[in-house]
């Protein structure tokens, strides 16, 4: 029997297949032309974000593979705006597909995907980062949200005042 690795790209692929299947099974459109425009743009932006995060991690010579121990904490570039830009990119790709394929019922798949990624990958990874890079992780997590956005005390926010 074929064993599928427990890695986020395979979970994303499964969510995409399920979304496509739901679109075929429950063909109730809601997003129309807006989805046909925003969906591909969101998916492409997600792929770009994901690629930028991978490049930044590889350039710092740390792992991009979940459950492996990172050698360095990357907090620059896209990591200034999200502690998890790769997972955010995955989520954007999935949401883009839902809009593009006009499958509103798959928003439940999206919500389940977010919860699963957070519990299965993000929380354990953050525990390792907190253990291995205690002070740096505490500072970064105080300034940058888990999914997206700067917190009020981020230094680059204060500098704009």
pLDDT digit of tens for each residue in the chain (161 aa)?
A: 667 789 999 999 999 999 999 999 988 888 989 999 999 999 999 999 999 999 999 999 999 999 999 999 999 999 999 999 999 999 999 999 999 999 999 999 999 999 999 999 999 999 999 999 999 999 999 999 999 876 666 555 555 54
Start-end of H helices in the chain = 8-25, 32-59, 85-100, 107-117, 123-132, 134-143, 155-158
- DSSP-derived letter for residue 150 is B
Angle at 91 between CA 45 and CA 127, to 5 degrees: 120
> Do residues 105 and 26 make contact, with C-beta atoms less than 8 angstroms apart?
yes
What is the structure's pLDDT at 4? 73
d(CA 123, CA 116): 10
Q: Is pTM, for the whole model, over 0.85?
A: yes
Length of the chain in terms of residues written: 161
Question: How far is residue 12 from each of residues 17, 28, 109, measured CA to CA in Å?
Answer: 9, 22, 10
């Amino acid at each position: 029997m074929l064993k599928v690795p427990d890695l986020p790209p395979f979970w994303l692929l499964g969510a995409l297949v399920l979304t496509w299947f739901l679109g075929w099974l429950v063909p109730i459109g809601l997003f129309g032309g807006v989805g046909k425009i925003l969906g591909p743009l969101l998916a492409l932006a997600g792929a770009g974000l994901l690629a930028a995060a991978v490049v930044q991690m590889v350039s710092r010579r740390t792992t991009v593979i979940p459950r492996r121990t990172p050698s360095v904490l990357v907090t620059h570039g896209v990591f200034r705006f999200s502690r998890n830009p790769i997972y955010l990119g995955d989520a954007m790709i999935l949401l883009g597909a839902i809009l593009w394929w006009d499958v509103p019922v798959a928003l439940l798949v999206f919500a389940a995907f977010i919860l699963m990624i957070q519990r299965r990958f993000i929380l354990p990874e953050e525990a390792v980062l907190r253990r291995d890079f205690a002070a740096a992780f505490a500072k970064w997590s105080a300034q940058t949200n888990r999914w997206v956005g700067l917190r009020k005390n981020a230094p680059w926010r204060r500098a704009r005042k």
